[in-house]
Structures are given as C-alpha cells and as structure tokens.
Amino acid sequence: MFDNDRWGEIWNTLSRNKLRSFLTMFGVGWGIFMLVVMLGMGNGLKNAVLGGFEGFATNSAFMWTMPTTKPYAGFQKGRFFTFDNEDVGIIRRNVTGLESCIPQLQLGGWQGGNTVTYGNKSGAFSIYGCEPAVLQVEAVRIPQGRFLNEADLRNERKVAVIGVEVVQQLFGGQPPLGEYIKVNGVYFQVVGVTKRKSSAEMGDNPDAKIYVPFTTFQKAFNALNEVHWLTLVAKPGVDVADVEKQVRLVLARKHKVDPTDEGAFGGWNMQEFYNNMNGLFLGIGGLSWFVGICTLLAGVIGIGNIMLVSIQERTKEIGIRRSIGATPKAITGQIVQEALTLTFIAGYIGLLAGVGVLEAVRRLAGEADFFKNPGVDLFVALVAFAVLIVAGLIAGLLPARRALAIKAVDALRAE
C-alpha cells in the first residue's frame, strides 16, 4: 500500500493518458456529485414541508356537520343538524384512545372576517371561541402575556388573545396587554399575544386570529349550545382515524343519522395528510438513491473498462514482471490500487463539489418557506462513499483476474 515504486508506476500510468484518466474520473465524480445533490435537495424540500407541521398535533383530526345524504329514522335526506355542548361530554366519556376533544366556534363562519376596533382604528379579523387545549393543534407561541385558561372558561371572562398582525394594525405595534378591543359591540380585555411557529397555515392566518373563551363566545355572540366543529387529538400510539370512526358512530346515534352516512360528517385528518407527505419524501429519497447509485455504477463500470484497456496495453509488461518472479498478489494489488486511486480521488472531488453546491443553495435560499437547510447527514455521505469504494474495488479485481489469466509466455510474445 505504501510502496513508493508502486505509486510511481500508478502515477506514470495515469499521466500517460491524461484525457482518458480525466474522463474516467469525471464519470465517477459526477455520479457521487449527483447523488449528494439530489439527496440534499430532497432533504431541503422535506425540511420545509414537514417543518411546516411544527407545533401542530399530527395525530389530530377535525370534524364538522354536513347535510345528511341518506334518510334515517323517519328523517329525509338533506337534513341539517349541528353539534352541541352535550356532544362534547358524550365523546369524552365514550370514545377510547382520545386525548382531547376540543369544541370550537368561529364568528361569521368559516374564514369569516369581523370588524374589530380599538379607539379610532379598526380591522377585519377571525374571531375564535375555544378552550385552552386548542394550543395542541395551533402552531403558535405566546411572546407576550398568556393564553386562555380554565378560569377564563369557568368564569366566562371577556378576555382575548390576539395575533401579532392584530397588534400591528390596531395598536401600531405598541404593547396591547390590558387594553380593550371591541368585537360586535362587546369589549374584550387583551391578556396575551400569539405568533405563528411555522410557515404553514391550517386554515386562517394564525397571526390575524383572535381567541376568546369558548363559554364567553357562546353568550356574547348568541351561540348558546352551539359547536361549529370539533378538534380530536388521539393519545400517543393511537391512530386518530380509529378515534374519528368511534366519534362518528357516537354522534350518528345521538343525532339520529344513518351510521353508514359518511357524507353527514365532514372531516380532515391531519395524521393521514402528514403520513402521505412522509411517504412522498421517502419515495423521493428512494428515487434519489436509485438514480445516484446507477450513475455511480456507470462511472465505476467505466473505470473497469479503462482498466481492461490498460491491462491489454501492458500485457508484455505484466509478462515480464511475472517471468522475473512477481507474485499474483503483487500484480493484483497494483491493478486494484490503481482502480481505487481513480475511484477515491474522483469520489472525493465529487463529494466536495456536491456539498459546496448544497451550501451555496442554502445561502441563496435564506429563510425561504419552500426550501430549508438542504444537505445530507455525514452518515449518508460516508455510506455513499463506502459504496463507491467497494464498487471501485470490484472494478479493479475483475481486470486483475483477467491479467492473471494470461500466461507469462503468451504475455511476453504480445506486441
């Protein structure tokens, strides 16, 4: 391995055919470069998309009512019904695997904007009636003040937690805590400020939301015994789809809806969506590995072919070496070492070039929402490099066997 004469022979062989050596190394370097770049780009996209779920309970689901699509118990299809306070208690008592059942209300309905005023300033924002547990599914943090608590619910306090955009529009960025805002003629004291954790929006803009206690909302806005939708959070290790099925059956029985009427309940499963996205990126990663490995193998096959050509050109040299006592191990070692040298240098350059490109892309992307921290783990890079070295070893061994198969007498006669 550290024989200076052998290294000198390898250098002379490679330098005699500079263009051929360069093109062979380029094929290998390009293969590992493509593998690293594709894996890194895939990770950048994955980090951006899945990072958008930060703060959300991925084992959650949302459910609301829809007109029935089947007649049942004397009722015609197309009947409208709504959730109520009793439904929440029934679900909490009868559904297994449920961690939280959170009732929610929205003033003006889905994506409804409502005029909110402070002094002589006003703006249109979404008003939500909710319980403190909603923080399990709302990707927000509390930079100022506090969020709603159980005492707010129990005492029906007229307090509100507002998003940073509300603070900017109504208060000009000044501290809003303790001040009063007016919503539909009702005054609420600001006790906290929310700010989004991630770039994703599951519904309305979280920075333009106003949260008030669920019980206060029902009385202040004439929504007694109304629930617009339910947020379901499953316990760790429990599939929220199973919880959702139980809830549908319980509520279908309570509201006299056909248990097989899937259209009577609208819903959105966060866990299913998250798993689909995970599966998508697993597929992208697998495709990147497949294309990258195929490109690497193409380069290594090129090295093997070049080594065969080199052996053919040096047939007489090999014959002379064998005739003066060179062992098969020595001849094999030189050929394999030459192949590994080509592979190692090309692979190392390709790996460095790939990492450099990913670093440049990371700096250019900055804080972009659609792309975040492209790169590959050190372990992945080492695995790719190990695969390359093993392939290079094979690319050297096969031509070496071909060289050993030539008899010394025939090698000496070669022109």
Q: Worst-scoring range by mean pLDDT, 162-171, 187-196, 199-208? A: 199-208
Which range, of 56-60, 76-80, 114-118, 378-382, averages the lowest pLDDT?
56-60
Residue 317 has pLDDT above 60, yes or no: yes
Q: Please report the pLDDT score of residue 50 as a whole number.
A: 64
Q: In sequence order, which ranges of 255-314 are alpha helices (DSSP H)? A: 270-313
pLDDT higher at 222 or 341: 222
Q: 221 pLDDT exceeds 70?
A: yes
CA 278 to chain centre: 6
Label residue 369 by pLDDT band (50, 70, 90). low
pLDDT at 42: 81
Closest CA to 353 of 140, 34, 11: 34
Say whether 111 sits in a helix, a strand or coil. coil
pLDDT in tens, 77-118: 899 999 999 999 999 999 999 998 999 999 876 655 788 999
161 has pLDDT over 70:
yes
Over the stretch 351-367, which tens digit does the pLDDT of each residue have?
888 888 888 887 887 66
Instruction: Check pLDDT > 80 for residue 55.
Output: no
Q: Please indicate whether residue 311 or residue 385 has the higher confidence score (pLDDT).
A: 385
Task: Please choose, from the candidates 304, 108, 298, the residue with its C-alpha nearest in 3D space to the C-alpha of residue 209.
Answer: 108
Q: pLDDT at residue 320 above 80?
A: no
Q: What mean pLDDT do residues 260-279 have?
A: 82
Q: What is the dihedral of CA 144, 149, 153, 157, to 10 degrees?
A: -40
Of 409 and 94, more confident:
94
The tokens for 133 are 């547990």
Helix (H, G, I), strand (E, B) or coil at 7: helix
Region 154-181: mean pLDDT is 93
How many C-alpha atoms does 347 have within 13 Å on its Cβ side?
Answer: 26
Q: What is the pLDDT of residue 385?
A: 76
To the nearest whole number, what is the mean pLDDT of the chain?
Answer: 80
The yes-or-no verdict on residue 402 having pLDDT over 90 is: no
Nearest one of 88, 70, 55, 60 to 228, comparing CA atoms: 88
Q: Which pLDDT score is estimated for 118?
A: 92
Tokens for 204?
Answer: 């309305």
More confident residue, 171 or 49: 171
Strands 186-196 and 159-163: parallel
pLDDT of residue 397: 72
Q: Please report, for the chain, the start and end positions of each structural domain, with discontinuous segments joined by +.
A: 4-52+275-413, 82-254
